[in-house]
Amino acid sequence: MDQRLDPHLMPNLITHPSHPIHPLTLFAAPPYHGGSFNCDGCGLQGTGFSYRCTTCDFDVHMICATNPLSLSHRSHPHQLNLVFDPPYQTRAPSCGICDEAGSNHWLYRCVSCGFDAHMDCANNRPSPQQQQQRQQRHQQPRERRHGRDNIGTLMLTMVQGFLEGIAHQVGEMVWKCVCGCD
């Protein structure tokens, strides 16, 4: 498991270059009435662990707060730096890794040539929203999560019963042949 994803290993208080005026505090759940927050890093909604500035109402997913400030990616020859202010005023950036439009939130950018990348694409991981959806799927009962599992279980039971029936008949025939009974 990536240490950045384990909240038990995270410091309760951090300073972050995206919000240098106040420290950010680790929260296990959003303190808002709706039970969610909008991440000032990626722009997506969050419900789990986050870092928060209580003075400014600045919130970021824990995973967004722990992104490396610079990294290398196989799709680009130069170093990519995490940028906190959108580089474009009139349009959203386009990710050079997945070729999809981004949002005017944090992104990785090559200062040499203007190459942009989504944070999640540059880090080769699912977005916080995808991670949350995956967690919710794992918390649902198996039958609700995979409708075909019920059919699969039924089919398995039928095949097992069929094989047991065949084995029983074969056993009877072998017994009849051995003892010579009809």
Enumerate residues 6+ apart whose C-beta is below 8 A from 63: 4, 5, 125, 128, 131
- Predicted local distance difference test score (pLDDT) of residue 145: 45
- Write out the two tokens for 44: 């997506």
pLDDT tens string 79-115: 999 999 878 888 888 999 998 888 889 999 999 999 9
Higher pLDDT pick, 93 / 6: 93
C-alpha neighbours within 13 Å on the C-beta side of residue 58: 17
pLDDT value at 36 more than 70: yes
- Write out the two tokens for 51: 């870092």
CATH class of 70-125: alpha beta
Domain with CATH 3.30.60 in the chain: 70-125
